[in-house]
Amino acid sequence: MSTDWMPRRRSDQLNMAKNWVEILKSSDTWGIPYDAVTELVTLTAAAEDTLLHTNSQHRGPLATSQNDVAFAALIPRMRDMKDRYFKKPPLTDPDFISLGLRLRDTIRTSHIDVHEIVEFELIVRNIREIIVNFWVKGSSNRAKPKGYDGAVIVWDVLDSPPARPDDLNRHTLASRTPYSLHFDETERGKTVYVALCWQNARGNIGQWSEIQSAVIP
């Protein structure tokens, strides 16, 4: 698995940037300067606009070139913002998860205190959407363990089954069940692989579930 935290697909890069924008709109989040947040907002909007054009009937060499320019401006700024401002502390493990960043040290040791395992099912409901319905293995209800942040979901659209959950590069923290995964039009008919584990309030994670798969509708 690549150690780079930046998603490979432009649509995923844009979704990460938009998520950062929503989080950083909070007043004085982690002391990040207003100008830095404003620049991220502007670059994200430009990238979103050009990506829409490349995926529409207006796509062509000009739209592709404009999209290349927009992302060439956005991605370095995202990397610079992460290097400058996303530090621990002041950020906590849940903060990193909310930003869509995988924690550096997720190796389970004998000191971990997350004993529950996730059971889940994948439900095909609408086009470009798969529902992840999860619960504590062996439990009769769907509540997350008391005091836990929720379930870490990792997934990826791959040509062949992954060997382990670490091979799945998209990830998020779901605080409640069910959770919806959304996909691009170009991913319809392909197979997505999904695994989950619980995360407690201290940011510790438990054992990964079995990997499940579904065809994207």
Which CATH number belongs to the domain containing residue 181 in this structure?
Answer: 2.60.40.10
Residue in 37, 56, 66 with CA at minimum distance from that of residue 185: 56
pLDDT over 90 for what percent of the chain? Answer: 50
Least confident of 116-125, 136-145, 148-157, 191-200: 136-145
119-137 burial: b if 16+ Cβ within 10 Å, else e = ebebeeeeeeebbbebbbe
One domain for residues 122 and 199: yes
One domain for residues 206 and 151: yes
Q: State the pLDDT confidence band at 37, using cuts at 50, 70 and 90.
A: very high
Over the stretch 159-194, which tens digit does the pLDDT of each residue have? Answer: 999 999 988 988 888 888 999 999 988 999 999 999
The answer to whether position 205 is within a domain reads yes
One domain for residues 79 and 122: no
Average pLDDT over residues 188-212: 92
Based on the number of CB atoms within 10 Å of its own CB, is 88 exposed (0-12), middle (13-18) or buried (19 or more)?
exposed
30 sits in the region (left: phi over 0; alpha: psi -120 to 50; else beta) called left
Q: In terms of residue numbers, what domain contains 33?
A: 10-86
Residue 104 has a pLDDT of 59
In this predicted structure, the answer to whether residue 152 has a pLDDT above a threshold of 60 is yes
The answer to whether position 95 is within a domain reads no
The answer to whether position 110 is within a domain reads no
Residue 144 has a pLDDT of 84
Q: How many CA atoms lie within 13 A of 135 on its CB side?
A: 9
In this predicted structure, the answer to whether residue 112 has a pLDDT above a threshold of 60 is no
The answer to whether position 102 is within a domain reads no
Q: State the pLDDT confidence band at 87, using cuts at 50, 70 and 90.
A: confident
The answer to whether position 24 is within a domain reads yes
- Extract long-range pairs of 83-87: CB within 8 Å, 24+ residues apart: 84/36, 85/30, 85/31, 85/32, 85/36, 86/30
Q: Nearest 5°: CA angle at 106, between 80 and 157?
A: 75
Average pLDDT over residues 62-85: 91
pTM: predicted TM-score of the whole model, two decimal places: 0.55
Residue 18 has a pLDDT of 93
Residue 202 has a pLDDT of 79
Domain count, the chain: 2
One domain for residues 75 and 125: no
One domain for residues 149 and 192: yes
One domain for residues 125 and 211: yes
The answer to whether position 104 is within a domain reads no
One domain for residues 37 and 77: yes
Residue 134 has a pLDDT of 96
One domain for residues 45 and 127: no
The answer to whether position 162 is within a domain reads yes
**Mean pLDDT for the chain overall:** 87
Residue in 24, 25, 19 with CA at minimum distance from that of residue 7: 19
The answer to whether position 25 is within a domain reads yes
